[in-house]
Structure 1
Amino acid sequence: MERKMESQMVEIGATSLPVIEYRGTRVITLAMVDLAHQRPAGTASRNFKSNRNRFVEGEDFHRIDFAQKDEFRPMALEIPPRGMILLSETGYLMLVKSFTDDLAWQVQRALVNRYFQLPPPKSKAHELLRSVQLLVEHEERVQRLESAQLEQQRVLDQIAQRQDDMDGDTGYMTALAFCRREGIPAPLSFAKRLGSKASDMCRKLSIRMGQVPDERWGSVNSYPVEILRECRQSMLGG
Structure 2
Amino acid sequence: MTKAISVHNSRIPLVEYQGQRVVTFAMVDKAHQRPEGTAKAAFNRNRHRFIEDRHFFALTGDVLRTQSFNSIFPARTRKGILITEMGYMLLVKPFNDDLSWKIQEELITAYFRHFPQFPDLQEVHIPEIKELAAMPLTEAQNLLAIADRESFTEHGQKGSAGMILRREELKKLRPALCLIGERSQLSLPGVSHE
* TM-score when normalising by structure 2: 0.57
Q: Of residues 12, 35, 40 in structure 1, which corresponds to 2:35?
A: 40
C-alpha RMSD of matched pairs (Å): 2.6
CA distance 1:70–1:121, shift in 2 (3 Å): closer
Q: Is residue 134 of structure 2 the alignment partner of residue 115 of structure 1?
A: no
Q: Which runs of 5+ in 2 are unaligned?
A: 124-194
Which of residues 56, 61, 67 in structure 2 aligns to 1:66? 61
Deviation (angstroms), 1:89: 0.4
Normalising by the residue count of structure 1, what TM-score does the alignment of the two structures yield?
A: 0.47
Q: How does 1:61-210 map to 2 (within 5 A)?
A: 61-73=56-68, 76-78=71-73, 80-120=76-116
Q: Larger % of helix: which?
A: 1
Aligned amino acid, residue 19 of structure 2:
G
Q: For 1:33, what is the secondary structure of its paired residue?
A: helix
Q: Is the 8 A contact 1:7 1:75 kept in 2?
A: no
Matched, 1:11 2:6: yes
Report runs of 4+ in structure 1 exceeding 4 Å deviation.
Answer: none
3-state SS of 2:23 partner: strand
Q: Is the 1:26–1:118 contact (alpha carbons within 8 Å) kept by the matching residues of 2?
A: no
Q: For 1:25 and 1:76, how far apart are their aligned partners in 2?
A: 18
Matched AA of 1:23:
Q
In structure 2, distance between residues paired with 1:20 and 1:121: 10
- More contact order relative to length (CA 8 Å, sep ≥ 6): 2
Q: Are residues 121 and 55 of structure 1, via their aligned partners in 2, closer, same or farther at CA, if it must alter by over 3 Å?
A: closer
Which one has the largest radius of gyration?
1
